[in-house]
Structure 1
């Protein structure tokens, strides 16, 4: 029987932290992702993942606040199944990353945000964390996948309503279940991989790290 996580009797954050302790790699597809949620998992990511392709966490975000013009451009191209040229794709990634950085910092005090952003920038540069924005269409799904060295259940999935935010991971009003049956878990992994590898899933890891680093560099230059 699956375990139900309603963040009342069973908390998804606790389950994720326990499962990630033995993780070899991980992935998640969420609508929203912010620092208050990420900060509850970042220490485990730093200690468990070395940044190689086989040992990292992939974060696919589907409901970011990209500028309206860029969203129309990306989704229009997706409907027509045309490929964006290099300069257009680069501009789209940067503009989308700028909007996503605002989502990341939402609701976080300045000092706390700076510490968390610095840590995230390090993890992006080391490739421990890979972030893609899914622009083909709005993606509401919430799925967490953890690969671990376990002979019975090497792949654990959590499926439900929780975004990668503090409210989603530990607040009431959410409902998730774990998926330990391996055939079902592998099907969820294939679903995730198809969207991660979609040509309209844009990797913004470098752009996001650039934005984070430039934002605190400007602050340090103007400090008395």
Structure 2
């Protein structure tokens, strides 16, 4: 545990979870102001909080559905043994009943503040970006700062107390259900305007285990090849558009030998690869650049920039070479994987003669039908659900080939009719432009894939709610 810096980023050995647990040791009270509070964040601190006399949690944006359920249950049942709360969550339920924990809300507060008091008006504060959630305390990239000056602590405690006095209880009347539909609440005078966000920790684990059961993985297939793609180290120079390519060939027809079609990172969209024509200047170490005078003249104007690339500085590469050339045979049909956001992974099929540009991965095999089935699976809600779980519980923020090979459970159709329907939908999605039709076809495809994994309505709901939030 790294305690030698006041800054806390959730990097290795510098987790907010560890810092809070360290500072909570011996504390009399714990106050926190956050945008979002999920019960998984409570579990991260639960052991140290057992000895804390008073805990106040002020929430501004949203609470997890399990937190909301616990709050409501605390008002109904005198005997927690008779409640329908699971055993793990009964600890928080009991603490609320005992008034050890209070949870209140203040509309649209998104600040993050943690206050720990040792009594006698002394304590420390942590201010920053982390919500009281498991990702906020451990996995997300965050920036928090610990303030040990007691005057800072007293100033922030006074601010917290002011906000606490302005806050309200969390009740059904304070939940803005209209925000589920992307609408704006008509009641702008509420002191609390929270969203209840579905927390499905146990259900998520169960659904994930069901998806993984009896599944296959890319690594199980020897015929499938996966490569990272060409990394130039200077795309704006070594990858050129059609106009520059045509000009170089006009000056010297031999230039065509080293100008190869390539799919750039920003061309890959879900279900589609843009029609922009791009070409990589593909000159390998055993080739003589002087044999391509037009290309040499073009590159020479950027020689100083190209010389600054690390493989050139180290002597590993010549100034005109590409940084890395791990690629799928351009003649092979292939899937190009991409990640457009924190939890959206998909693969796009192409059978064009082309190289692919890193850092996206390309996957290839001889069977085009299998590639299109794999495309459907990787672009589905099921595997995006698995992807989001992996990202939320890992410090790894980039898609790696080992992830594609080993983390995604695959289930293939058992009969040709089902296989034909999946391929038909994939091919349709690559052709249509209408957003409504795309959504309908994606829904149809997801329904088929849900059936492949034998998922029931409740399990599908867990997947879709997890992806939504």
Q: TM-score range by the shorter chain?
A: 0.5 to 0.7
The Cα shift of 1:194 comes to: 0.5
Aligned 8 A contact 1:45 1:128 in 2? no
**Equivalent position to 2:116, from 143, 146, 149:** 146
Q: What TM-score, normalized by structure 2, do the two folds share?
A: 0.31
Aligned to 2:168: 202
Matched, 1:168 2:172: no
Q: What's the counterpart of residue 8 of structure 2?
A: 5
Shift of the 191–145 alpha-carbon distance from structure 1 to 2, 3 Å rule, reads same
Tell me the residue number matched to 1:64.
62
Change in Cα spacing, 1:126 to 1:99, as seen in structure 2 (3 Å) is: closer
Deviations 1:109-165, CA, capped at 9 Å, x for gaps:
xxxx82332111101011111111113xx0000000000159xx9311000000000
TM-superposed CA distance for 1:98, in Å, is 7.4
Give 1:47-196 correspondences, 5 Å limit: 48-49=51-52, 55-64=53-62, 101=68, 114-135=86-107, 138-148=108-118, 154-196=122-164
User: How far did residue 2 of structure 1 move?
Assistant: 5.9
The 1:103/1:114 distance shift into structure 2, 3 A limit, reads closer
* Equivalent residues, number: 155
Q: Highest relative contact order (Cα 8 Å, sep 6+), 1 or 2?
A: 1
Alignment partners' CA distance in 2, 1:23 and 1:38: 16
Q: Is this contact kept in 2: 1:159–1:177, CA < 8 A?
A: yes
Question: SS state of the match for residue 40, structure 1?
Answer: helix
Q: In structure 1, what is the Cα distance between the partners aligned to 2:119 and 2:104? A: 26
1:14, distance to aligned residue in structure 2 (A): 0.5
Greater share of helix:
1
User: Would you say the 8 A contact 2:122–2:154 is kept in 1?
Assistant: no
| Deviation at residue 11 of structure 1 after TM alignment | 1.0
Q: What is the aligned partner in structure 2 of residue 31 from structure 1? A: 35
Larger Rg: 2
2:26 equivalent among 9, 17, 22: 22
| Contact kept in structure 1, 2:70 and 2:92, CA below 8 Å | no
Runs of 4+ in 1 over 6 A off after TM superposition: none
The answer on whether the counterparts of 2:70 and 2:89 sit within 8 Å (CA) in structure 1 is: no
| CA apart distance, 1:204 | 4.0
Secondary structure (helix, strand or coil) at the match of 2:114 reads: strand
Structural RMSD (CA)? 2.9
Query: Hey, what does 2:466 align to over in structure 1?
Result: none
CA distance in 2, matches of 1:181, 1:19: 14
Structure 2's unaligned 5+ residue stretches are: 72-84, 172-469
The 3 A distance-change label for structure 1 pair 191 and 146 is same
1:42 corresponds to: 46
Quickly say closer, same or farther: Cα 1:27–1:165, change in 2 above 3 A: same
Would you say the 8 A contact 1:130–1:203 is kept in 2?
no
- In structure 1, distance between residues paired with 2:164 and 2:113: 12
Distance in 1, matches of 2:69 and 2:130, equals: 20
Aligned partners of 2:21, 2:147: CA distance in 1, in Å?
16
Task: Provide the C-alpha distance between the structure 1 equivalents of 2:7 and 2:34, rounded to a whole number of angstroms.
Answer: 19
TM-score (norm 1): 0.62
Separation of aligned partners in 2, 1:204 and 1:32: 13
